[in-house]
Amino acid sequence: MRPKVHLVMWIILLGFTGISFMLFLSPFLLSDWKVLASALLFTSMTATLVWGLDRSHLTVVSDNESIYLKGFFNFRKIKLGKSQVRGYSIQQKADQYSGFHEEFQITTSDGRKIYFPRIAYSDYSQVASFCKGFTFLGHQELRYGKLIGQILTIMGVVSGVLFALVSIIKLL
């Protein structure tokens, strides 16, 4: 299974990197502390984004006795024996792309959890079939999931009513 990074993430990563380079090449780098602070800020944001992509977008390769997990930029490399995997669990999540959904995570015998976010894989059924080869450890519901769903519905209705009121006021 190979992960897929959305185009928006690439644009953000290239934007942060480009702004960092422009600020570091600026003739005002050493004379103005604001330029140096901005350059360091954008460089740290680029490094954080690269680190996050490498930790969350894992390439999974398995054979009969081992599992190889590699990060997107190959900074993170994990080799597990199939006997080291205690099992998998399904965790309920919410994000801006998929709404409420379920994601798989593998738990190793030493208690470490390896997450497979839905946004990282174009065909999540491959992740599901890979994880189903292990022992099922349980299902974790999203804390306050029903409450969040109700609040989002109410916020949508209130936003629509307020938009309609502002539109009517502008017409008058």
For residue range 62-116, list pLDDT tens digits in order: 888 888 888 888 888 888 888 888 888 988 877 666 667 788 888 888 888 888 8
The answer to whether residues 160 and 135 belong to one domain is: no
Per-residue confidence band for 14, with pLDDT thresholds at 50, 70 and 90: very high
Distance of CA 46 to CAs 10, 11, 12, 42, 75, Å? 11, 11, 9, 6, 15
130, part of any domain? yes
- Which residues form the domain of 87? 7-141
Q: What angle is formed at CA 4 by the lines to CA 130 and CA 8, rounded to 5 degrees?
A: 145
pLDDT at residue 45 greater than cutoff 90: yes
Question: Residue 84 has what DSSP assignment?
Answer: G
2, part of any domain? no
79, part of any domain? yes
The answer to whether residues 100 and 160 belong to one domain is: no
Give the pLDDT confidence score for residue 46 in this predicted structure. Answer: 92
The answer to whether residues 44 and 101 belong to one domain is: yes
The answer to whether residues 154 and 135 belong to one domain is: no
pTM summary value? 0.66
1, part of any domain? no
User: Which residue from 55, 50, 64, 54 is spatially nearest to 105, judged by alpha carbons?
Assistant: 55
Question: Residue 96 has what DSSP assignment?
Answer: T
60, part of any domain? yes
Give the pLDDT confidence score for residue 148 in this predicted structure. Answer: 75
- Average pLDDT of 37-51? 92
Number of domains in the chain: 2
Strand, coil or helix: 86: strand
Q: What angle is formed at CA 129 by the lines to CA 125 and CA 132, rounded to 5 degrees?
A: 135
Copy the structure tokens of residue 129: 């079939």
The answer to whether residues 57 and 79 belong to one domain is: yes
The answer to whether residues 136 and 158 belong to one domain is: no
